[in-house]
Structure formats: C-alpha cells, structure tokens
C-alpha cells in the first residue's frame, strides 16, 4: 500500500514550467504610430567589424550603430533565428550522444505468487536485484549513427549560417527603413511648404479675380494645383507615419530618427573595384554557406538510410546483486551478471526502407537545386546593385545640377520681387517650382542611399580586400 501511495504521489508531480503571457508594451489606443514592443529590456548586441565599418561610412555624423545593435537584440525574427541555432545545437548533441553507450542503474523488486501450491513452488518468485549496466546499445557497424550525427552537425551549421543571413538582412532592413523614414520626413516638410505656397497663390488669384485681373479658369487651375498639393501633403504625412512605424516594428525598440538624408547618399567609392573581385568570394555569403551545409546533411541522411538495409546489432549488459530480500542483497554469493546481444534484420517491410532511400535521394537532389538557387541569387543581388549604382549616381548628379539651377532662379526672382520688378504671384510660382525640384532631388538621394544598403546586403559576410575601404 505504501508503494502504491508513493507511486500516486510521484505521478501527481509536474516539472513543467508555469506558462505566463509575455510582457509587452501595448499602446493605449489604436492610433498614432504605437507598436507593441517587448517589455523586457535586452542589452545591445556587439556589431561585427563589417557592420561597424559600413555604418560608420554610411552615417558618420549620427549614432546608427546603437540603433542597429538594439535592433539585433530586440527584433523577433533575429531572436527566433538565434533560438533555432540553439535547438539545432541541442539536436546535434542528442545525435552525438546516441553513438555512445548509456550506463544506468536499475533496481527491481519482483514478487510472483500462484494459487496452486505446485505452481507456486515451481514458478513463484521473490527477487530483489540492483544492477549497473548498458541497455539496448547499438553497435554502429555500418555507420548509421555516425551518418545521423553528421547530418545533425551539418544542420546545426546550416542554422548558424542561416542566423547570420537573418542578421545581415535585419541590419540592411533597419538601415533601409531608416533611410525611407528620413526621406519621408523631409518630403513631408517640403510638401507642407509647397501646400503653403499653393494656398497663398490661390488666395492671390481669388483676390485678382474679384477685381477682374484674372478669369475663373485661371482661378480653377490654381485651385486644382492647391488640391493636388493638399493631397500630396496628406500622402506624405501618411508615408512618414508608416515608415516610422515600420522602423519601430523591425527594430523592436522605440526610435526617434534625426538628421538629413543627403549625407547618406554620398557614395565613397566607384563600383568598378567591386566588379574586378574574384566571383568565388560570393560563396562566403551566409545563405550560400547555409545551402551547402544543407546539401551535406542530405548526403549524410542517405548514408543513414542505406545502413538500415544491413543488420542491427544491439547489446544489453549489467552487473550487480540479486537476493530474495533486501538484507541478503549484498551478501556472499548474491552477484549477478547478464549479457544479451541482439541481432535484427527486417525481412519484409513492404518497401519501407527502399521508399526511405528514395525520399532521402530526392531530398538530396532538392538540396542541390537549393544550393544552385542560393548561388544564383547571390550573383543576381550583387550584379543588380552594381548595375544600378552607376545609373543612380548619374541621375543624382543631374538632379542636383537641375535643383541648383532652380534655386538660383528662385533667388533671382526673390531679388526682383524685393526690388518691386515682379509681383508676389510670380515669386510664389518660382518657389513652387523650387519645392518640386527639391522633391525630385530628394527621391534621387533616397534611391542612391538605398543602393548603398543593397550593396552592403549583397556582400554581407564576404571578406572583401583591404583595398576596398567601404561599400
């Protein structure tokens, strides 16, 4: 009875941790740019030299490195990637441990009684035993366990490379969204000024119509221009709010960006030096390394499946003591030893092992295609970023020259207006043209800055020569 009560008491225990809802910082209302963030503060993660050098070259006048470091610690995608690495590492340790025998302690108390005195005298049993030994250990004669361990190791390496790929993508995404937020913020300022100019120009036109200087059609054209400016301002405000919200969501922390966009678009070097690099450098990219590790794991899986076609040899052994009572358990003559080898070979499995081999080979072929795709994707990213940079630099240069000409024309119009040579409406028209030119230049700067980030993303994890200072 005492043993039964003890068993019931143990069965009622639970070692599962208490499930709790994660703490998150929720906004009070569904308005504004509020994004639920993790309520647990996390220390910043250290940046790699490549990340630190690029961020320093991209924005030496602001603390973008701290933003990226906080994003690496708080972003949910990156945290999941880190946890997947831990899971793969644990799985590899499990597979590695299976290659070694497990030594365990076993204690049993067996009692068997029969109603028949004859049967009880022949088959009745009362035995207490305690043994130390190995149970069901598989001798890896054909490399099945080694292949499983190799596959687990390669998948662990693949998850580690995958985490690096996620990290590079996250750093690039944070920088990309930062650029888009800065561009949207400046565009909002320009469109707000543009709306002020068009509203004032419409007001002047309405006064001129009241005295017969302009027609209703002229005022209607001014009203259409003002309506378009109002719509553009509203769209710019929404775009800025969306960009800021996206940056907070990806970074996982509350951010307050600052600084102009123009310095981010200053390309430090020409792309020709990158075009002359050895193409095999791209095989260092984390996503390519991940695909290669997955391919090696698929090969190891085939080895494990092929080994299943051969006999399996398992051993169980133990050494200890046995007696009819606890008092005699360690007495003289109570020693016991067991050795149980087992050989098994499935004869008829209805094609199961062959199907598993076919499946492993098909997965291997899929891994080959996946590796080819990873390499092709790497080259495509690099070539597209390099091809776009020259075009974007030329477009930004021409747009800057055009903007400078418009600004000088506007300055001359301001001087003539102060001298009384032109009226206020002509000056406003020049200012509107200047604001529109500023928006076009802002777009070209944004595209060039985004191209710098795209180049960083394309070469992430690649050891570039020291002659190339930065991207």
pLDDT digits 0-9 by tens, 37-72: 665 667 778 899 999 989 988 888 888 888 999 899
Query: Same CATH topology for 43-99+141-310+351-458 and 102-139+311-344?
Result: no
Q: Which of 34-48, 114-128, 283-297, 425-439 has the highest mean pLDDT?
A: 283-297
Residue ranges per structural domain of the chain: 43-99+141-310+351-458, 102-139+311-344
> For residue 436, what pLDDT band results from cuts at 50, 70 and 90?
confident
Q: In sequence order, what E strands does 328-402 have?
A: 335-344
Q: Please state, in angstroms and rounded to a whole number, the distance separating the CA atoms of residues 390 and 400.
A: 15
Q: Please state, in angstroms and rounded to a whole number, the distance separating the CA atoms of residues 322 and 127.
A: 7
Q: What is the pLDDT of residue 289?
A: 94
How far is it between the farthest Cα atoms of the chain?
133
Lowest-confidence range among 44-53, 247-256, 289-298?
247-256
Q: What is the pTM of this model?
A: 0.83
Are 193 and 438 contacting, i.e. CB atoms less than 8 angstroms apart? Answer: no
Written as six digits, the tokens of 176 are 């990309």
154-183 pLDDT tens trace: 999 999 999 999 999 999 999 999 999 999
Closest CA to 94 of 153, 136, 51: 153
Average model confidence (pLDDT) across the chain: 85
Tell me whether residue 153 is exposed, middle or buried, using C-beta atoms within 10 angstroms of its C-beta: 0 to 12, 13 to 18, 19 or more. Answer: buried
Which CATH class name applies to 102-139+311-344?
Answer: mainly beta
Written as six digits, the tokens of 464 are 């570039």
In percent, the amount of the chain with pLDDT more than 90 equals 32
Q: Among all chains, which residue has been given the structure tokens 């790497």?
A: 378
Q: Among all chains, which residue has been given the structure tokens 């009384």?
A: 420
Q: How far apart are the first and last CA of the chain?
A: 77
Indicate the helix (H) or strand (E) that contains 181: helix 144-210
Q: What is the pLDDT of residue 469?
A: 55
Residue 1: pLDDT over 50: no
Are 114 and 99 contacting, i.e. CB atoms less than 8 angstroms apart? Answer: no
Q: What is the pLDDT of residue 99?
A: 86
Are 73 and 41 contacting, i.e. CB atoms less than 8 angstroms apart? Answer: no
Closest CA to 246 of 164, 168, 182: 182
Q: What is the pLDDT of residue 37?
A: 66
382-416 pLDDT tens trace: 999 999 988 898 898 898 888 888 888 888 878 77
Which CATH class name applies to 43-99+141-310+351-458?
Answer: mainly alpha
64-74 vs 216-251: helix crossing angle, rounded to 10: 60
Q: Among all chains, which residue has been given the structure tokens 């240069």?
A: 397
Are 263 and 178 contacting, i.e. CB atoms less than 8 angstroms apart? Answer: no
Q: Please state, in angstroms and rounded to a whole number, the distance separating the CA atoms of residues 85 and 160.
A: 6
Q: What is the pLDDT of residue 221?
A: 87
Q: Please state, in angstroms and rounded to a whole number, the distance separating the CA atoms of residues 96 and 148.
A: 8
Are 195 and 233 contacting, i.e. CB atoms less than 8 angstroms apart? Answer: yes
Q: Among all chains, which residue has been given the structure tokens 């981010």?
A: 264
Count other Cβ atoms within 10 Å, centred on residue 134: 16
Task: Measure the CA angle with vertex 403, ends 190 and 64; round to 5°.
Answer: 60
Residue 232: pLDDT over 70: yes
Q: Are strands 312-323 and 335-344 parallel, antiparallel or unpaired?
A: antiparallel
Specify the 3-state DSSP secondary structure of 111. strand
Q: Please state, in angstroms and rounded to a whole number, the distance separating the CA atoms of residues 257 and 59.
A: 12
Count other Cβ atoms within 10 Å, centred on residue 363: 17
Q: Helix (H) and strand (E) counts for the chain? A: 11, 6
Q: Is 257 left (phi over 0), alpha (psi -120 to 50) or beta?
A: beta
């Amino acid at each position: 009875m005492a043993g039964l009560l003890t068993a019931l008491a143990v069965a009622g225990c639970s070692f599962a941790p208490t499930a709790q809802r994660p703490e998150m910082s929720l906004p009070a209302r569904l308005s504004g740019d509020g994004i639920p963030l993790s309520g647990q503060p996390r220390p910043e993660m250290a940046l790699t030299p490549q990340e630190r050098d690029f961020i320093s070259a991209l924005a030496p006048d602001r603390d973008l490195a701290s933003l990226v470091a906080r994003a690496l610690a708080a972003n949910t995608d990156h945290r999941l990637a880190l946890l997947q690495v831990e899971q793969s590492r644990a799985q590899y340790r499990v597979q590695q441990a299976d290659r070694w025998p497990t030594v365990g302690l076993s204690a049993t108390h067996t009692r068997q009684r029969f109603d028949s005195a004859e049967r009880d005298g022949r088959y009745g049993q009362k035995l207490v035993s305690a043994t130390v030994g190995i149970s069901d250990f598989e001798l890896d004669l054909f490399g099945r366990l080694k292949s499983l361990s190799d596959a687990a190791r390669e998948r662990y390496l693949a998850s580690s490379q995958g985490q690096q790929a996620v990290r590079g993508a996250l750093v690039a995404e944070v920088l990309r969204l930062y650029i888009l937020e800065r561009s949207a913020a400046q565009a909002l300022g320009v469109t707000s000024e543009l709306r002020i100019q068009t509203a004032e120009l419409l007001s002047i036109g309405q006064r001129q119509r009241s005295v017969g200087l302009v027609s209703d059609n002229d005022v209607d054209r001014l009203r259409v221009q003002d309506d378009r400016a109002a719509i553009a301002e509203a769209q710019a405000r929404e775009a800025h709010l969306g960009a800021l919200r996206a940056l907070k969501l990806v970074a996982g922390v509350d951010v307050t960006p600052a600084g102009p966009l123009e310095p981010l678009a200053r390309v430090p070097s020409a792309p020709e030096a990158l075009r002359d690099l050895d193409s095999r450098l791209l095989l260092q990219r984390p996503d390519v390394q991940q695909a290669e590790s997955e391919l090696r794991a698929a090969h190891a899986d085939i080895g494990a499946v092929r080994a299943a076609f051969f006999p399996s040899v398992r051993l169980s052994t133990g050494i200890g003591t046995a007696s009819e009572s606890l008092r005699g358990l360690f007495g003289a003559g109570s020693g016991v030893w067991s050795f149980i080898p087992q050989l098994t070979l499935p004869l008829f499995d209805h094609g199961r092992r062959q199907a598993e081999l076919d499946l492993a080979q098909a997965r291997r072929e899929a891994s080959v295609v996946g590796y080819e795709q990873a390499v092709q994707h790497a080259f495509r990213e690099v070539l597209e970023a390099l091809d776009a940079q020259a075009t974007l630099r030329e477009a930004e240069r021409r747009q800057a020259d055009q903007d400078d000409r418009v600004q000088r024309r506007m300055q001359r119009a301001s001087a003539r207006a102060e001298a009384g040579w032109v009226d206020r409406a002509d000056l406003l028209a020049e200012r509107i043209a200047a604001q529109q030119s500023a928006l076009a230049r802002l777009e070209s700067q944004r595209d060039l800055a985004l191209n710098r980030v795209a180049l960083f993303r394309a070469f992430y994890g690649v050891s570039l020569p020291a002659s190339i200072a930065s991207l």
